[in-house]
Amino acid sequence: MDLDDITAGFDDVTDPTCMEMLMIYLEQLEQDDENFMELLLEKVGEIPITWYQPWYQESICLTRPLNHNQESKSEKFRTDSFTKMEKEHIEKKWKSLRKKFNLPDTPICLARWRNRNKCRNPVTPEEQVRHFVIAYLARGLERNLYQVYQFYLSHYGAPVRGPFSVNEEKIIEVVFQHKPSKAVCYLSRILGREPRGIHRRLQILNKGVKENKDRTSKWNLSLATQLVKSLMCHSEKSLEDLKYERFDKSIWLKVQDDLGRTYTSLQRFWYTFLHVQLFVKYDIKLKQVRKVVLKKIRSPSIQVWTDIRWKELLKHFPDGFTHMFVYHATQKLVSSYKNYKTAPIEEVIQYGLNELKTKVSKSKRLKTLTMNKEGMLEVIEYDNDMHKE
């Protein structure tokens, strides 16, 4: 699956299917990395280091800087930036390693590989193999293994440089919209760029507003009121007219300035919760929403989860619902099913129905809001339940 093919269908960054497709792509990358590690274990295995290593290359840990006073040592390592000659040396050593052990030319796989067990014990087979590769590349250099490993991660793990393309900008907006807490990590792996470059790009897109604030301060009625009033002000629309309004990014950036939160977090809150709470005129039972979705996605045109067109499902719900609300309500129910994004949809449906039947919990409701005479949002109660399909 190519990134250009995936982004070709990114017409609306708020569409959760966009993020689902990127997550499938990321899972494929992780599988490629695992396959490469398995190949290294098979080819390199328990081969010992037989060549001479200076004292600064004897460390068994790649992820910790070598904190050692080398003044008293006869052999010293360099601490400046890698030279062109050193870079060419590492590239030649990589070619030699590939030829010697018959490996594919995919150094990025080892750079991206992460120990899923989160075990950094240097005696595990995976860590020993990684140590062998870096030691092989460092042979003949006046560098310690930590320095060579960091160069390897930067040179091979983040090979993309230069201005961001239009497709990359789309991907950044999608990931930042749906997975803000892990956006930099995901984007770095998907785009093959260094995290600091992603950080800088996000700061430019958000005009310097940081996402950290969005995760530490919770939404409340006062903040929700500020958001509604800001949207009304900059769009010059009444509260009721906001129901059908699709706001241009320029308006969201103005609202971002008013509230001091990133525009993507404002969009998420508006389309996932607040819009529904304002414009659906009864308290919504989440269980009933999920039942309707599971019933309607049982269709010949839907083979897997990513075939679902969430905007089209809105025709089965009363006015005021949003595709992001319907998606998040359903995805939370089935996300614990293994490989739910690629599994046959009937398996996912059955899992979701079983979860609804077997989980004993209170029927959660999304409370309805209205704006009072003082211009503040307040909770109102309805006795009527959601209409059954």
pLDDT digits (tens, 9 = 90+) for 109-139: 999 998 776 556 667 889 899 999 999 999 9
* Other beta carbons within 10 Å of 277: 20
Lowest-confidence pick of 154-163, 282-291, 295-304, 376-385: 376-385
Measured CA distances, 68 to 65, 72, 73, 198 (Å): 9, 10, 10, 33
Give pLDDT, residue 120. Answer: 61
Higher-pLDDT residue of 161, 143: 143
Question: Across all residues in the chain, what is the average pLDDT?
Answer: 88
Give pLDDT, residue 152. Answer: 95
Give pLDDT, residue 54. Answer: 93
Tokens describing residue 15 = 């569409």
Residue 313 has pLDDT above 60, yes or no: yes
337-345 average pLDDT score: 92
Best CA proximity match to 364, nearest among 374, 356, 372: 356
Helix 84-101 to helix 125-138 angle (10° resolution) is 130
Ranges of H-type helices in the chain: 3-7, 16-43, 84-101, 107-112, 125-138, 145-157, 166-178, 183-191, 195-205, 212-216, 221-235, 249-259, 263-269, 275-279, 286-296, 310-313, 323-334, 345-358
Query: Each residue of 282-294: pLDDT tens digit?
Result: 888 899 999 999 9
The label of the residue with tokens 């080819």 reads 43
For residue 284, what is the enclosing H or E element? strand 284-285
